[in-house]
């Protein structure tokens, strides 16, 4: 399975959790979907191989910014994703009242924005496709 398909399935799982009112868990999956969408285009830009194994969404985004320019600056929300990727999985407090429908909806909207960036702005060129084909033949 490719990373984009994995991201799409993870986003779908997050939406199912969101619709089931499991907001804390949906946020974790929304954040994971963001990471996977960003990683799905990493092969189009020069990057440190360690970035592929990390959860560093800001690093992934910055690597893509070398070549692609999004319509909006995603850094503030990526910082929130990094924070809540961990905190939603391992709540440090018994008080999970912050995980509301509205809060989870912010992450849902952000995933849609990242997906739009990946789908419409991180476009492979003909040279990218030729290079990929040559790598696959080897």
Question: pLDDT tens digits, residue range 105-137?
Answer: 999 999 999 999 999 999 888 877 776 666 667
pLDDT at res. 72: 92
User: Do 84 and 107 form a contact (C-beta atoms < 8 A)?
Assistant: yes
Domain region containing 115 = 3-137
pLDDT at res. 135: 63
Residue 124 CB-half CA count within 13 A? 13
The sign of the CA dihedral 27, 29, 32, 33 is negative
Q: What is the mean pLDDT of residues 27-33?
A: 97
Question: pLDDT tens digits, residue range 31-84?
Answer: 999 999 999 999 899 888 999 999 999 999 999 999 999 999 999 999 999 999
Whichever domain contains 105, its CATH number is 1.20.120.330
pLDDT above 80 for 28 = yes
Backbone angles phi, psi at 95, to 5 degrees: -85, 105
Q: How far is CA 16 from CA 55, 114, 125, in A?
A: 23, 19, 35
pLDDT class for 96, splitting at 50, 70, 90?
confident
Cα(57)–Cα(95) distance, rounded to whole angstroms?
A: 26
pLDDT at res. 132: 64
What is the Rg, in whole angstroms, of the alpha carbon atoms belonging to the chain?
A: 16
What is the value of pTM for the model shown? 0.89
Question: How many domains in the chain?
Answer: 1
């Amino acid at each position: 399975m490719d990373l984009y398909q994995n991201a799409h399935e993870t986003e779908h799982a997050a939406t199912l959790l969101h619709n089931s009112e499991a907001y804390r868990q949906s946020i974790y999956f929304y954040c994971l979907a963001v990471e996977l969408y960003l990683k799905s285009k990493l092969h189009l830009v020069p990057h440190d191989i360690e970035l592929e194994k990390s959860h560093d969404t800001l690093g992934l985004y910055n690597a893509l910014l070398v070549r692609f320019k999004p319509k909006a600056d995603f850094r503030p929300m990526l910082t929130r994703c990094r924070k809540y990727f961990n905190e939603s999985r391992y709540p440090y407090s018994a008080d999970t009242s912050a995980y509301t429908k509205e809060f989870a909806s912010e992450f849902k909207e952000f995933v849609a924005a990242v997906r739009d960036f990946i789908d419409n702005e991180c476009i492979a060129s003909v040279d990218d496709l030729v290079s990929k084909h040559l790598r696959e033949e080897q």
